[in-house]
Chains A and B, each alone.
Chain A
């Protein structure tokens, strides 16, 4: 009951922040755009496409939309959700607030876990809304019910959870919302994509073995959200997934971040 109250309070806190309302507004707009586009296509574009390339052409078009949706959703999560959840821990740690929370009969470990689960559930529900509706619209209009697209809800939630675990740790250390946002955006926009494409981007002009080792080392220990998105796209397009290593190592990263956060929170004076 106490744990659930804390989880649900995360929802309430997010809704109270205008930025999360922005996420829902844009999601709704995307859903409406998809609804409108498909109507147009079914009359003009899709009919032409079906005539020229048959049912396969429609499937490819729907899959193309779905792959594009993963990138859009990922971008939305980063711009809206990361900014929204980055303040969860710093605001919880504010003087006068943390005193009250720690005086309640709940363990410090559970407080961190509740904040984590609350944030992840929030994004999961948001993605169910966005991707679920887009899937329903695309499927009902095209007649092609491509279930693997729905799996991207799980993959995107996982990507978020991995970075959110880092946001929690930074929040505990720094009690700064801004720093949490900057580091997480730097990691997601710059570090992860560059490391994921290290063989093409970095290794093409650096041959030093030591530097390559360091780069590889960083790649393996840091989260791999770009690779997780690639796995998600591969599953939708039906391409074989080369390796699930990025998933395992990212989950490991998340567990380490959460464990360290819990350890620090349990030891710290407030």
Chain B
């Protein structure tokens, strides 16, 4: 089921430069986010990522196009009861304590007072902020603010959570904890919309991604498919007899790396399965098959670099 869908979304900002008429932040952008998935939005600075999130949340208005959240038009703001949001560089009232901040935003999200207290305790503990609950947030470090922001975004038990650079300023252990939390939320059926510059992080947690550049969608799909270099598969097997190595080289154009490792190119899944059957018939034990992949970072750099 599609939780968010956009069709031909356009957003132009008036230019501050007299020579230019307008700045296009989004151009004919169409995509959708499915239920219970972690969706990553990638793109260089100024690609339109934050604009997209702001349009979906009704913070900015589209110039044209259609946006639906939970199958409702975004002009009906009631959908925000089921939404959690952690903006980049969020700013909480600095005269509040961590606990008061969660109470305030919990009530603003429409939670009943008794539920706010219960959830505050739960999420302060989950984000490791229990100890600092009575401390004024003006004394918080960047990492602590980020953890509190995350607790705030989860407080109303949202069905979809928008996270804009959630691990910004968080130490490596904290990052790992946040990644684990996101995976747990996904298992609980939550949909997560992640905007992060840390591509390795996106690669670790996201099911699907969309890459934006200059307001347009460059690529979208499953992370595995996008990072797949080609249709090359690395086989790890039991020792291959010498005569069979020759067959693999001549008939199957395999690239032999060692006595029990070789690379095979299969253009279709059927071709891959036929080859596996063939190996099994020859009593070759298959220890593992890995599709040759590039890192998301390398793929991203080559993709965006070729466009700019």
A interface with B by C-beta (< 8 Å): 1-2, 5-6, 9, 12-13, 16, 94-107, 267, 269-270
Q: B54's contact among A9, A97, A99, by CB below 8 Å, is which? A: A99
Chain B residues near A105 (CB-CB < 8 A): 77-81, 109-110
Q: Give min CB distance, A214 to chain B, whole Å.
A: 34
- A13 with B107, Cβ < 8 A, contacts A103-B80, A270-B54 known: no
Q: Give min CB distance, B163 to chain A, whole Å.
A: 12
A-B pairs under 8 A by CB, number: 83
Interface segment, B15-23, B84-92, B126-134, B190-198? B84-92
A-B contact pairs, 11 of them (CB 8 A): A6-B108, A96-B89, A96-B90, A97-B93, A100-B92, A104-B105, A104-B108, A105-B77, A105-B109, A269-B13, A269-B60
Closest to A94 in B: B91
User: Does any Cβ of A come within 8 Å of B83's Cβ?
Assistant: yes
Assess the A270–B104 pair: CB atoms within 8 A: no
- Chain B, interface residues (CB within 8 Å), range: 20 to 34
Chain B residues near A9 (CB-CB < 8 A): 93, 104
Chain A residues near B202 (CB-CB < 8 A): none
Chain A residues near B87 (CB-CB < 8 A): 96, 99-100, 103
Within the assembled complex, what's the spacing in Å between the Cα atoms of A259 and B206? 45
Assess the A104–B109 pair: CB atoms within 8 A: yes
Chain A residues near B60 (CB-CB < 8 A): 269-270
Assess the B54–A100 pair: CB atoms within 8 A: no
Assess the A103–B90 pair: CB atoms within 8 A: no
Chain B residues near A95 (CB-CB < 8 A): 89, 91
Assess the B77–A99 pair: CB atoms within 8 A: no
- A1 with B83, Cβ < 8 A, contacts A98-B59, A99-B54 known: no
User: Does any Cβ of A come within 8 Å of B144's Cβ?
Assistant: no
Residues 153-190 of chain B, each 1 if its beta carbon lies under 8 Å from chain A, else 0: 00000000010000000000000000000000000000
Residues 55-77 of chain B, each 1 if its beta carbon lies under 8 Å from chain A, else 0: 00111110000000000000001
User: B236-255: which have CB < 8 Å to A?
Assistant: none
Assess the A97–B108 pair: CB atoms within 8 A: no
Within the assembled complex, what's the spacing in Å between the Cα atoms of A9 and B79? 23
Q: A100's contact among B58, B90, B96, B112, by CB below 8 Å, is which? A: B90
Select the residue from A103, A107, A267, A270 with max chain B CB neighbours within 10 A: A103
Q: A16's contact among B95, B109, B112, by CB below 8 Å, is which? A: B95
Chain A residues near B61 (CB-CB < 8 A): 267, 269
Known A-B contacts: A96-B89, A100-B92, A106-B108. Give 18 more (CB < 8 A). Answer: A1-B113, A2-B108, A5-B104, A16-B95, A95-B91, A96-B88, A97-B91, A99-B90, A100-B87, A100-B90, A100-B91, A101-B108, A103-B58, A103-B83, A267-B61, A269-B61, A270-B59, A270-B60
